[in-house]
Structure 1
Amino acid sequence: MTMRFRSYRLRAVTDDGTYGADVRFGEGLTVLWADNTKGKSTCMQGMLYALGLEKMLSPRREIPLPHAMTSYLNLDDGQRVDVLESRVSLEISNGQDQIITVHRAVKAPTDSRLITVDFGPSLTDESRQFPTQNFFVLDGGAAQREDGFHFFLEQFLGWELPQVRRYDAPETKLYLETVFPLFWVEQKFGWSTIPAAIPTYMRIREVHKRAVEFLLDLDVYKLEMQRERLAERIAANAKEWTALHEELSRFVARSGGRVVGLAEKPVADRELLDRAHLEMADGLNWTGLATMIARNRGIAAELDAISVPEVSEQANEVARRLDERIAEVDRLNAERIRVHGIRQLKSADMLSLQRRIDTLADDLAKNLDVQKLQRYSGVSSLLTPDRCPTCEQALIDTLLSQEALSAVMPIADNIEYIRSQKKMFEDILSREAAEDDSRSDQLNAISRELTDLYAQIRSLRAELVAPGSNPSATAIEDRIRAEAKVRELEAIQSVFDEAIDRLESIQTAYADLLIEQASLPKDKLSAEDQLKFSHLTRLLQTQAAEFGFSTFGASELEISSDSYRPEKEGFEIGFETSASDAIRLKWAYQLSLLELASGSETNHPEILIFDEPRQQSSSKVSFESLLRRASKARERGQQVIFSTSEDLETLRKITASIECTQQIFDGYILQRMN
């Protein structure tokens, strides 16, 4: 997962010939020097542009290069020539020693969104021809599709960028523009923040954290995403269970029954599901479905065993049954009126309970506000009847009897009391609501029973006036009704059994999800993540001291495991540091990320680019320490590139005693090509 810059080329075709520059990068530290306004920024931003990373600087699609590559070129003699065409080329390699050369036009007839890749070192070996392929950048799909350059570059680097959450969409890929600022610090915005000036306009949630987590290959985001997705699956499982429960309850209620012992939310205990059963309305009582089926099967069998009698043979029996049905109707109607009356009374009680709960909620909010004001103002939370709770002035007790001057409950105790009262009334309301649902089921069952009784009464009355020699219609209807009842109850049982089978599969999935959830680490950071943070903190402390950080002791610095930023005693470091110390801290942080990659498993490409690192007039001693520390990258097989306008004599004194590659440009970087 490494990336190395090998060679870099700028070319600008003018009406006075071709101007350009060639830069070779060495192993370890490379120092690129040019005086101010001589094209150093052109050189550095051109490398960003070559890789299609200009959106790292701004959401605008404008070319980030100055006039020297886009419109006109200033010459050493003060003349100005127009730029007709221009382009940049960058030769890079990866950890598998694969080399590619990237070409991109700055000003040309072709579209600037086109990038051409030579599959070989076409800058350092111009004698050979290499296969080429065109890619596109900036347009949608550049990071997802095969012809997108960033998709190709991601594979070339051996990365697999994760899917991350967005504010305006479910998920998206973590773009290269959000990761490169962690090891490529450009001059305009890169020094403004730690860990990096990462673009936020891509609407990625906590983009700074996601970028650091990927670069350090932390488990924390993977675990967080696992937890979130697991929670979503558990929620979907519960939703499926609840929907099936509600569907089953509605179906059974339409048939005059109710579901008993079935939890409304999924449970892992198999025995709890085995206890679930159905009860059917049996007059004013509830009888188990299995018992009802057995009883009605027996009735149907008895009726089927006898022949159908004539009307004359059934007259007395029909009259008796008619009287029984009428009496049963009267009894059920009286019961329905009674239950309906109870419901009306309980409905009023429930409304009263709800009003009481709302009042307590309002009182609780007001008391919480008072407690907050007391906490903010530093006023004691103890209230006394002779003191104003707001301004603490004494109150004249003329209107109060001496008996009233008793201790007043402290605000904290008052809050807890209101909360307990509110919880108690909510529990009562919940029980009343459950009982009301039961009464509603009872009324539905009574209505269903009455409907059946009215049908029987009509049939019995019709038979009393029928000719005596006719077959008894009532006996026939009894047989049909008994057989239909058995079929109906068996159908209900079948639906219930099918629902239980589906709930069993949901329950099995739920138990598996709970096991998977329990297997996740309890801590936010894995053991390996904690080791990385400990190592990173030690590197940061060592380098901050080495670079002269002096706002407070460097040993007090830590890396926050939450924000991944430097902190002291749990607080992020902000305005209390001087501007020069903030830059030193930036040096230490970026170099620590680089050095951590040599001993830990990370996604860092093991390259670090600083554009003008001596910001805010950091001392020469600090700058020398920075260069010496950066020069050790060669020992670790890493690469560091600095561009600077530091005093050349001072720079030469420093570089003379360290191992590095120097690229010194006298005058403008872009010179006329022979």
Structure 2
Amino acid sequence: MLRLRAIAAEGVYGTDVPFGRGLTVLWADNTKGKSTCMQGMLYALGLERMLSPRREIPLPHAMTSYLNTDDNRRIEVLESSVSLELENREGQIITVNRSVKGSTDTRLVTVDFGPALTHEGTPLRRQNFFVLDAGAAQREDGFHHFLEGFLGWSLPQVRRYDAPETKLYMETVFPLFWVEQKFGWSAIPAAIPTYMRIREVHKRAVEFIMDLDVYKLEMQRERLSERIASNAKEWSTMREELERFVLRGGGRVAALSEQPIADPDGLGRAHIQIADGAEWMSLSVMVSRYRASAAALASAAIPAVEDQSSEVAEKVQQLSQRVDELNAQRINLHNLQQLKSADMRSLERRIDTLDDDLAKNLDVQKLQRYSGIVATLTPDRCPTCEQALTDTLLSQEALSAVMPVADNIEYIRSQKKMFEDILVREEREAVARTDHLAAINKELADNYAQIRLLRAELVAPGSNPSAAVIEERIRTEAKVRDLEGLQSVFDEVVERLQGLQDAYRTLLKDREEISDEKLSPKDRDKLRLLTELLQRQAAAFGFSTFSSRELSISEDSYRPEKEGFEIGFETSASDAIRLKWAYQLSLLELANVKRTNHPNLLIFDEPRQQSSSKVSFESLLKRAAESRRHDQQVIFSTSEDLETLQRITQQIDCGEVIFPGYILQKLE
């Protein structure tokens, strides 16, 4: 039931509109308040943004400023309000109250938990909610959040164009079963607002009402892809951090994949290599070598300086020679790096030039295809105007056939691919040279430190213990600890990478389990039934632009189509309205045989648009009246000729609400 109340200085004006099960036809003459009832229900539910992004009250002046009476008087409205009684599929009843004009903020919605209109005087629990403000669809005190639960819905999270995921708002779903007079008849399946920036909002709304699996599957695939990408990013970050840490220790990471791999043995092949001169040795080999050296030094007594002078001098000479060798290697590597860097820049410029040449040749090929001229280019004719070219500085004998554009394109592509492969190889070798330079620099630093220590020992008192031997022992032991530390960090990172690898295999398995088919078998069955219902109803309503059997529902947009093409301007205006009737009623009737989220309610405000024939309108009413057998509710508001309307309604099982004058009348 709907209740409208407008308080004036001389009394209370209003009406109560009962809505029973099945079809209810609400009749009133034009400008008498019929649309006030329709929009009053929308307003009570806080759905005015279904009509416009503006937060203005959608009700006419009869509820906001003044009302007219049957005796042509104008009455000023002091306060007004709307109340609507709702029942869900579980039989729970609530009464929604909202002020239109008065001291109460229009964003406040008061809910009585029970039939406050049909059973007045019964004490009921009451609770306040808010609408229109942020959080009305998400927070506990938001009315649309409450209404979602009352309807038994769970509105999905959907993608937006300008923000992360958001809820599929009610304003985008209600147009599929609530067709208002001004804009509701302008689109099939519905005039769904797009200002909320929801991606493919029409598809998302239909998928929700029909309870299709397609969006769930799409989101599962997308979220799996995001998780796989996140897994790969985390893997790459760990790998880069490990490489930087190992590089500071004079080593490099070998055989570790840049991206996660499902092979369980893949991580087992990864290891650290340490530079040993120009060679790279496994970390485990280097650890064994330094451990043996440390053990030998630890077992030997520390000699005096005078006993070590010759050995120290020889050691200084050996280290100096090694430093010279390392410096020579570093200079050579640095020079090579400079040359290779110049080569790589040259390769990049060459690839850019080839990209430009390729684009130009593709444009020429496109122009030739569009103009129908595909002749082979020759040096003796202009490729633009086709005139002969005989005047040239080149010898005529030197001229030869020019490569056709298509062949030229393939040649440029092959050249570009070759240079790109060379560039990738050069980049890989540049990384290896950088690692080698880092290892040389670290060894040079160690050698310079040893030389300084050994030279200091050569001038130390002879009776002192050999600081060089002590330093070598300490340095060797420290080297063992450093290498073991590298191995420990490597093992820890590999263990974490193992967890990522396990997660990666699970993600790949989950992706394989999701069907590659866009629609599930249940989805296809629902769309098939919807197509059958649409065809039958379109035929019953007199759709005549083409045979109704040629109609189908698009699997991409869920709109009516013919032979794979959406139906646009080729239909007449009246046939477009008939198709709209058929689509909306088909969604309602689909809920009788399949599980959907349809609320079993359909509201048409002025369904006889564009002067559709009376025969079609009669068929629509008869079809809508069948909703009573399925415990559904259909509400039509119309200003159709009353005599014609009653002739139809007397033949069917439906309810009538007839207003001979203005809907808002003075109440006793």
Amino acid at match of 1:176: M
Q: How many residues align?
A: 665
Q: Does structure 1 residue 379 correspond to structure 2 residue 366?
A: no
1:248 counterpart residue number: 242
Q: What is the CA–CA distance in structure 2 between the aligned matches of 1:644 and 1:529, rounded to whole Å?
A: 35
Q: Taking structure 2 as the reference length, what is the TM-score of the superposition? A: 0.96
For residue 265 of structure 2, what is the amino acid of its counterpart? E
Change (3 A) 1:353 1:650: same
Partner of 1:456: 450
Cα distance change of structure 1 residues 398 and 539 upon mapping to structure 2, 3 Å threshold: farther
One of 125, 132, 136 as aligned partner of 2:119:
125
Match of 1:304 in 2: 298
Structure 1 length-normalised TM:
0.95
SS in 1 for 2:578: helix
Question: Which amino acid letter does the alignment assign opposite residue 535 of structure 2?
Answer: Q
Residues 461 and 12 of structure 1: CA distance in aligned 2, closer, same or farther (over 3 Å): closer
Q: 2:453 and 2:133 mapped to 1: Cα distance?
A: 79
**Matching of residues 383-532 of structure 1 within 5 Å:** 383-385=376-378, 393-399=386-392, 401=396, 404=399, 406=401, 408-411=403-406, 413-532=407-526
Contact 2:94 2:111 in 1 (8 A): yes
Structure 1 vs Structure 2: percent identity of aligned residues? Answer: 68
Match for residue 338 of structure 1 among 327, 332, 337: 332
Counterpart CA distance in 1 for 2:422 and 2:109 is 71
Could you tell me which amino acid in structure 1 is paired with residue 176 of structure 2? L
3-state DSSP of counterpart to 1:268: coil
Amino acid paired to 2:372:
V
In 1, Cα distance between the equivalents of 2:648 and 2:372? 61
Select the residue among 19, 36, 45 that pairs with 2:13.
19
Alpha-carbon contact 2:364-2:405 (below 8 Å) kept: no
What pairs up with 1:225-236 in 2 under 5 angstroms?
A: 225-236=219-230
**Secondary structure of residue in 1 paired with 2:128:** strand
Q: 1:393 to 1:595 in 2, by over 3 A?
A: farther
Distance 1:424 1:317, change over 3 A: same
Check 1:477–1:115 CA distance in 2 against 1; reply closer, same or farther (3 A cut): closer
Residues 1:263 and 2:251 aligned together = no
Deviation at 1:93, TM superposition (A): 0.6
Residue aligning to 1:641: 635
Matches of 2:99 and 2:536, distance apart in 1:
43
Instruction: Deviation per CA, 1:552-596: give whole Å up to 9, x if none.
Output: 222222211111211222222222222112111111111111111
1:177-208 per-position Cα deviation (integer Å, ceiling 9, x unaligned): 11111100000010111111111222222221
Query: Match of 2:600, as an amino acid?
Result: E
Give the Å deviation of 1:260: 0.2
**Equivalent in the alignment of 2:206:** 212
Gaps of 5+ in 2: none
2:173 is paired with a residue whose SS is helix
CA RMSD of aligned residues (A): 1.9
Is 1:201 aligned with 2:195? Answer: yes
Give the CA deviation at 1:317.
2.2
- Aligned in 2, Cα 1:673/1:395: closer, same or farther, shift over 3 Å? farther
Output the amino acid matched with 1:360.
L
- Offset at residue 70 of structure 1 (A): 1.3
Conserved? CA contact 1:289–1:489, under 8 Å: yes
> What is the rounded CA distance, in whole Å, between the counterparts of 1:541 and 1:416 in structure 2?
51
User: Which structure 1 residue ranges, 4+ long, deviate > 6 Å from structure 2?
Assistant: none
- Post-superposition shift, 1:403? 6.3
Aligned to 1:100: 94
Of 269, 281, 286, which aligns to 1:287?
281
Please identify, of 266-275 and 317-326, the stretch whose mean Cα deviation from structure 2 is larger: 317-326
Question: Does the residue aligned with 1:287 lie in a helix, a strand or coil?
Answer: strand
Q: Offset of 1:372 from its aligned partner?
A: 4.0
| Distance apart, 1:309 and its partner CA | 1.7
Shift of residue 470, structure 1, vs aligned partner: 2.8
Q: 1:36 to 1:318 in 2, by over 3 A?
A: same
Residue 112 of structure 2 contacts residue 127 of structure 2 at CA under 8 Å; is this kept in 1?
Answer: yes
Distance 2:483 2:331 in 1: 28
Letter of the 1:288 partner, please give it.
Answer: S
Per-residue deviation, 1:405 = 5.4
Q: Does 1:77 align with 2:86?
A: no
SS in 2 for 1:537: helix
Match of 1:580 among 574, 579, 589: 574
- Where 1:62 maps in the other structure, the secondary structure is coil
Alpha-carbon contact 2:365-2:405 (below 8 Å) kept? no
**Deviation larger for 340-349 or 351-360:** 340-349
Instruction: Name the CA shift for 1:225/1:421 in 2 (closer, same or farther; >3 Å).
Output: same
Q: Does 1:154 align with 2:148?
A: yes
SS of residue paired to 2:498:
helix
Is 1:180 aligned with 2:174?
A: yes
Distance 1:521 1:132, change over 3 A: same
In the TM superposition, residue 244 of structure 1 has moved relative to its aligned partner by 0.7
- Residues 465-517 of structure 1 show CA distances to partners (whole Å, capped at 9, x for unaligned) of 33433322222222111111111111111111111111111111111111111
In 1, Cα distance between the equivalents of 2:343 and 2:241? 29
1:641 aligned counterpart, secondary structure: strand
- Which amino acid counterpart does residue 73 of structure 2 have in structure 1? Q
Partner AA of 1:85 in structure 2: E
- What's the counterpart of residue 60 of structure 2? 66
Q: Is the 8 A contact 1:28 1:640 kept in 2?
A: yes
After superposition, the Cα gap between the structure-2 partners of 1:309 and 1:419, relative to the gap in structure 1 and judged at 3 Å, is same
Q: Distance in 1 between matches of 2:175 and 2:629?
A: 24
SS in 2 for 1:281: strand
Change (3 A) 1:577 1:298: same
AA paired with 1:173?
K
Q: Is the 8 A contact 1:544 1:584 kept in 2?
A: yes
Gaps of 5+ in 1: 1-6
Code of the aligned partner of 1:408: M
How far apart, CA to CA, are the structure 2 residues paired with 1:566 and 1:381?
Answer: 42
Change (3 A) 1:379 1:64: same
Cα pair 1:382 1:410 within 8 Å, conserved: no
AA aligned to 1:578 is S
Matched, 1:54 2:48: yes
**Conserved 8 A contact 2:185-2:580:** yes
Structure 1 518/384 Cα, relative in aligned 2: closer, same or farther at 3 Å?
same
Task: Look up the equivalent residue of 1:384 and give its one-letter code.
Answer: L
Distance 1:465 1:106, change over 3 A: closer
CA distance in 1, matches of 2:363, 2:564: 28
Whole-angstrom CA distance in 2 between matches of 1:324 and 1:287: 22
Matched-pair contact (CA < 8 Å) for 2:67–2:75: yes
Answering whether residue 174 of structure 2 is matched by residue 165 of structure 1, we say: no
Per-residue CA deviations over 1:125-173 (Å, capped at 9, x if unaligned) read 2253322222222222222222222111111111111122223321222
The structure-2 alpha-carbon separation of the partners of 1:414 and 1:646, relative to structure 1 and needing over 3 Å to count, comes to farther
Q: Are the counterparts in 2 of residues 215 and 603 from structure 1 also a CA contact under 8 Å?
A: yes
Contact map agreement 1:374 1:381 (CA 8 A) in 2? yes
Deviation at 1:611, TM superposition (A): 0.2
What amino acid does structure 2 have at the position aligned with 1:113? R
